[in-house]
């Protein structure tokens, strides 16, 4: 017999402890939202807020604190210093939120400060890039749209894939498009528009009884909210790499959820007279070994990236660590238990109907 992490007859009562899981999730989400409220929203990086980034290479070791102290006299706003590349590369990224200062002036201020405060150290300004506030705002809007449309398309796919209700899924998309069009006429900012769109999507899923889609979308929103909240609590910046990580999290979390949903649907065919909670529990236990192996190996790789990947991808790896961890949690304790309240198997007749249409 091959190596087994979970014995075939394992029967952990996941549904029985779902309320504890809900409390844990709600506590973490509220802590993150509280942090966002206190700090006035997410802390955007240069990609979204606009500013400049300067890459500097030294000819010998320099500490980040030394560099920060040396650049303190430049009077550049929002200054952030970050090591870059391998430890013996002696390269750093200097970020500033200044977007109304000419790039030549920024280069001169940085060079003068390093020459006077770090004498004897050779350095070279390898590149200086600037992102204007308008470009940053456009990038932010596009990034939010990408996250939203990813969730919307997933909701439509799940509805058709698991419930064979493509018409209802199309009706949801049409209702959402109408709602967004009307809200746009009111001139609502993009960030609030995306939030409203998410709420409309969840409301339509509930109204049209697209239960599998409802569970999947709530799990995805759960994962994104926790990741954003953790970044806010830790004071991390949101930039394009963070959005890339969020989209990756959405894909990974959905994959985990689909595995569990597939098993639930298969088991519903043969357990028509069994309690629906028992069917969900059995499905989660049957996929538990696969979930642990997949998530464990993925998290191990990302942990290595986070520890040894360098400063440039450090935050990207951190977002993946948080998101994939919560994605695994939500596929077991959020997406599946929601079916117990809103799912097609919440009554015996509905289960028979599902079996008949399969």
Rounded to 5 degrees, what are φ and ψ at 57? Answer: -120, 130
79 and 220 in a single domain? The answer is no
Residue 3 banded pLDDT, cuts 50, 70, 90: low
113 and 253 in a single domain? The answer is no
234 and 100 in a single domain? The answer is no
Given a cut of 90, whether residue 29 has pLDDT beyond it is: yes
229 and 306 in a single domain? The answer is yes
Quick one: pLDDT at residue 358? 44
CA 23 to chain centroid, in Å, comes to: 20
Given a cut of 90, whether residue 31 has pLDDT beyond it is: yes
Domains identified in the chain, total number? 2
Distance from C-alpha of 46 to C-alpha of 36, rounded to nearest angstrom: 19
Contact between residue 140 and residue 45 where contact means Cβ atoms under 8 Å apart: no
Percent helix / strand / coil, the chain, rounded to 5: 70, 10, 20
240-285 per-position pLDDT tens digit: 788 888 888 888 888 888 888 888 888 887 665 568 888 888 888 8
Candidate from 1-10, 253-262, 332-341 with smallest mean pLDDT:
1-10
Distance from C-alpha of 55 to C-alpha of 96, rounded to nearest angstrom: 12
| Strand, helix or coil for residue 131 | strand
Contact between residue 315 and residue 237 where contact means Cβ atoms under 8 Å apart: yes
Q: Pick from 97, 112, 131: which residue ends a domain?
A: 131
Quick one: pLDDT at residue 11? 81
150-208 per-position pLDDT tens digit: 777 777 777 777 667 777 777 877 887 787 778 777 777 766 777 787 788 888 888 87
Residues spanned by the domain of 333? 14-43+135-356
Q: Which of 59, 57, 61, 63 is nearest to 110 (CA)?
A: 57
Distance from C-alpha of 233 to C-alpha of 242, rounded to nearest angstrom: 15
113 and 188 in a single domain? The answer is no
Query: CATH number of the domain that 92 lies in?
Result: 3.30.70.100
Global pTM value:
0.76
49-105 per-position pLDDT tens digit: 777 888 888 888 888 888 888 888 787 877 778 776 666 778 888 878 777 778 788
């Amino acid at each position: 017999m091959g190596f087994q992490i979970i014995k075939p007859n394992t029967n952990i009562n996941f549904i029985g402890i779902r309320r504890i899981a809900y409390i844990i999730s709600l506590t973490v989400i509220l802590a993150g939202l509280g942090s966002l409220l206190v700090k006035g929203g997410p802390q955007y990086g240069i990609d979204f807020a606009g500013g400049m980034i300067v890459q500097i290479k030294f000819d010998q070791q320099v500490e980040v604190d030394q560099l920060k102290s040396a650049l303190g006299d430049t009077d550049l706003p929002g200054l952030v210093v970050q090591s870059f590349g391998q430890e013996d590369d002696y390269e750093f990224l200097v970020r500033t939120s200044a977007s109304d200062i000419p790039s030549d002036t920024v280069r001169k201020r940085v060079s003068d400060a390093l020459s006077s405060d770090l004498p004897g150290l050779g350095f070279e300004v390898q590149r200086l890039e600037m992102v204007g506030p308008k470009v940053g705002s456009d990038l932010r809007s596009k990034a939010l749209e990408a996250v939203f449309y990813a969730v919307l398309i997933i909701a439509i796919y799940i509805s058709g894939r698991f419930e064979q209700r493509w018409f209802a899924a199309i009706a949801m998309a049409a209702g959402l498009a109408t709602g967004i069009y009307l809200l746009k006429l009111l001139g609502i900012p993009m960030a609030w528009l995306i939030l409203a769109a998410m709420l409309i999507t969840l409301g339509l899923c509930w109204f049209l009884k697209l239960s599998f889609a409802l569970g999947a979308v709530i799990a995805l929103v759960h994962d994104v909210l926790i990741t954003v909240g953790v970044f806010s609590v830790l004071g991390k910046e949101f930039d394009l790499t963070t959005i890339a990580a969020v989209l990756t999290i959405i894909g990974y979390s959905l994959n985990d959820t689909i595995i569990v949903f597939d098993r639930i649907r298969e088991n519903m065919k043969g357990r028509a007279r069994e309690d629906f909670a028992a069917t969900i529990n059995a499905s989660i236990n049957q996929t538990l070994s696969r979930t642990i192996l997949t998530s464990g190996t993925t998290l191990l790789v990302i942990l290595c990236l986070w520890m040894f990947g360098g400063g440039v991808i450090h935050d990207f790896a951190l977002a993946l660590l948080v998101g994939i961890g919560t994605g695994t949690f939500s596929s077991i304790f959020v997406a599946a238990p929601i079916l117990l309240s809103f799912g097609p198997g919440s009554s015996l007749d509905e289960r028979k109907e599902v079996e008949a249409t399969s």
